[in-house]
Amino acid sequence: MPPRRSPSVAASALAFLPAIVAGCHCSGTPTEAPDAAADAAPTGSSQAPPLDSAPAPAPPPPGSVEPAPPTPAFACPKGMMSVMAVGEKFCIDKWEASLIDKNTQLPISPHYPPDRRLAAKLADTWEQERLEIGSEAARRMPLPPLPAWERQREIDPVAVSRPGVVPNGYLSGIMAERACRNAGKRLCHYEEWLTACKGQAKRQFPYGDEYKQGACNIFRALHPAKELHDNASIGHLDPRLGLVREKNGDPLLRRTGATPACKSQWGDDAAWDMNGNLDEWVDDEKGRFVGGFFSRSRTDGCEASITAHPRPYLDYSLGTRCCWDPGDGDLPR
């Protein structure tokens, strides 16, 4: 597909984004409560039998190798999947991040950046731009509403992992990192993300070893910028891009978990949409997002990776999910 480009409005909006991020004062406590009861390993009785009555264990047959003891499970915060591979033990969000505001707990619109000034600028600019670009039908398509409170007060985003919601796009790598940190978590390292996506069976795709069209929400027949602007390479900050649907009503950007075959399995648990739906920022100082988004023409599954954009970059197709491990400190609250 053609490389990402943004029109002049994108350049002007992004020009002041680093200053906005640099001026943000972010602090606070985590927001998710751990689901330790559901994931904790069972423990045995502390009452040992008398020494003189306990039977001696039978010796192993000659030449046999004793099996390694099972790796103990560990508790993950609610909404996260436990990944236990060789040399790795971490938790990853089951669903792509939706955002809430830390101070008000209100949901942040998934169709605008989680930044007051930038969101307001895009809403005002595209209210005019939409009347001058694309087909007549596209020009009649209204912008999604920007809640009044998102214009009036500063936003401090918190990443939330939950099913059945529209995940937040329009995230820069800097915003994604902040949202995970505010949740008491962190951005995933690329190798962690890749391990989780391939699942316990180490498959190229969440669902198997070979590409299957439609199993994940990727390589869709439509591109939203082409539908709205007659050009897939422009207008990537238009707030309407996540609202485009196919003729049968199927949205290009689906709700979290709405593509049931697209699940990366570890044990009895799974994470959804790691291939497709939204590209996802990972922890890379030069900038990297992974997994592919709904209209990306890629068939490399979990190994889809883009390193062409720096961390301040954002557009409609970019979201994230978070990671956590016991070395990161206390579980999110």
Q: Tell me the pLDDT tens digit for each residue of 141-159.
A: 999 999 999 999 999 999 9
- AA letter at 270: A
- At 190-236, the pLDDT tens digits run 999 999 999 999 999 999 999 999 999 999 999 999 999 999 999 99
Question: DSSP assignment of 198-260, as one string?
Answer: HTTTT-SBTTBSS--TTSSS-S-S--HHHHHHS-TTS-TT-TTGGG-B-TTS-BSSPPTT-ST
pLDDT score, position 139: 98
- Tell me, yes or no, whether 65 lies in a domain: no
Total Cβ atoms within 10 A of residue 300? 12
Judged against a pLDDT cut of 70, whether residue 10 lies above it is answered with no
| Average per-residue pLDDT for the chain | 84
Q: How many domains does the chain have?
A: 1
- At 77-99, the pLDDT tens digits run 999 999 998 888 999 999 999 99
- Tell me, yes or no, whether 120 lies in a domain: yes
Torsional sign, CA 210, 215, 218, 222: positive
pLDDT score, position 326: 82
Mark out the alpha helices in the chain (DSSP H runs).
Answer: 8-15, 17-22, 36-39, 116-129, 136-140, 148-152, 173-182, 190-198, 224-229
According to DSSP, residue 137 is labeled: H
pLDDT score, position 180: 98
- At 106-125, the pLDDT tens digits run 999 999 999 999 999 999 99
How far is it, in rounded angstroms, from Cα 30 to Cα 235?
A: 35
CB distance 76 to 89 below 8 Å: no
Residue 302's closest CA among 211, 237, 169? 211
CB distance 129 to 235 below 8 Å: yes
Torsional sign, CA 210, 214, 220, 221: positive
Total Cβ atoms within 10 A of residue 120? 15
Residue entry with tokens 């560990």: 74
CB distance 5 to 225 below 8 Å: no
Judged against a pLDDT cut of 80, whether residue 238 lies above it is answered with yes
- At 18-33, the pLDDT tens digits run 444 433 433 333 333 3
Residue entry with tokens 């591979």: 85
- Tell me, yes or no, whether 103 lies in a domain: yes
- At 37-60, the pLDDT tens digits run 333 333 333 333 333 333 444 555
- Tell me, yes or no, whether 67 lies in a domain: no
- Tell me, yes or no, whether 22 lies in a domain: no
- Tell me, yes or no, whether 17 lies in a domain: no
How far is it, in rounded angstroms, from Cα 210 to Cα 204?
A: 7
What CATH number does residue 311 fall under? 3.90.1580
- Tell me, yes or no, whether 192 lies in a domain: yes
Of the pLDDT bands very low, low, confident and very high (cuts 50, 70, 90), residue 328 is confident
Judged against a pLDDT cut of 70, whether residue 70 lies above it is answered with no
pLDDT score, position 5: 41
Judged against a pLDDT cut of 60, whether residue 9 lies above it is answered with no
Which residue segment(s) compose the domain that 299 sits in? Answer: 79-326
pLDDT score, position 61: 59
Of the pLDDT bands very low, low, confident and very high (cuts 50, 70, 90), residue 67 is low
